[in-house]
Amino acid sequence: MKKTKYPIKWEKENFSIKIFCSIPNIATGILLKAGNSNFIIDPGDGILRDLNNELKKADLLEISDVFVTHGHHDHVGGVWSLLTYLRVMDKKSPLVIHYPKGCLEIVHIHNAFQTVYFNNISYKIHLKEIDAGKPFSSKKVLIKPFPVIHKEYLSDHKSTRQVPALGYKFTFNNIKICYGGDTAYCEDLVKQARNSDLAILEAGHDDDTPDEMHMTISEAKTIGESAKEYYLVHVPE
């Protein structure tokens, strides 16, 4: 399969998404723009470089929401530098970090940040743990989180466990973008991707035998074809 070329940019009216990169085990980084609002999705390593290339400093400082699908390093590796950078740049407006319930990586990165900088942080950080699939909104964007199936190996390299993991569907002015995060084929994703204007689907499995971690290219394509447009991301390089 041909290498996906990043960045990928998609837009409809004043709703757009830019995937700076999505490489399994290395990094993900996504910027969602709805009108004048900017959201970050899965801030992996390199997110600061990409945001700085993309946004004016004033817009970067106004980023209001971060959406984390799960705690694997290729999705949260940039959180520490993002929080610190915003402090150094004297961000004033609050930042909300949405993450799946039980995602210890986010809780501990945030705790460490608060411990290190204590009462020397220029902006408020609100951690918003997401439990079930209840929709909510931020800056006129409706967000529907949904559970997905994503596992990781334990230290014996044989047994696995489910990690707290979500996909998100974002709706703005009736335009729908569905991002599944890392997931095996699952009915919740099938349902949310259907009829979306854009579905962003991982095809992180490197062979044709499905497992409970990632989708194969053909599984991801089947789901993608039920949306109006789709991109396959997180394809191993």
Q: Which is nearer to Zn ion, 74 or 105 (CB)?
A: 74
Q: Which is nearer to Zn ion, 65 or 74 (CB)?
A: 74
CA distance 193 to 90: 38
Q: Which is nearer to Zn ion, 40 or 60 (CB)?
A: 40
Is residue 151 part of the contact set for Zn ion (CB under 5 A)? no
Question: Of the listed pieces 16-24, 33-41, 42-50, 169-177, which binds Zn ion according to CB under 5 A?
Answer: 16-24
Shortest Å, Cβ 73 to Zn ion: 8
What are the helix (H) ranges across the chain?
47-54, 57-61, 73-76, 79-88, 104-117, 187-193, 217-224
CA distance 209 to 190: 19
Question: Of the listed pieces 2-10, 35-43, 53-61, 177-185, which binds Zn ion according to CB under 5 A?
Answer: 177-185
Cβ distance 69 to 75 under 8 Å? Answer: yes
Is residue 74 part of the contact set for Zn ion (CB under 5 A)? yes
Dihedral of CA 22/137/79/158: which sign? Answer: negative
Shortest Å, Cβ 25 to Zn ion: 7
Question: Of the listed pieces 4-12, 124-132, 182-190, 224-232, which binds Zn ion according to CB under 5 A?
Answer: 182-190
Is residue 72 part of the contact set for Zn ion (CB under 5 A)? yes
Checking DSSP bridges between strand 65-67 and strand 95-100, what pairing results, if any?
A: parallel
Checking DSSP bridges between strand 95-100 and strand 125-130, what pairing results, if any?
A: parallel
Q: Which is nearer to Zn ion, 24 or 224 (CB)?
A: 24
Shortest Å, Cβ 85 to Zn ion: 23
Is residue 182 part of the contact set for Zn ion (CB under 5 A)? yes
Cβ distance 93 to 61 under 8 Å? Answer: yes
Cβ distance 151 to 145 under 8 Å? Answer: no
Q: Which is nearer to Zn ion, 86 or 219 (CB)?
A: 219
Q: What is the binding site for Zn ion (CB under 5 A)? A: 24, 72, 74, 182
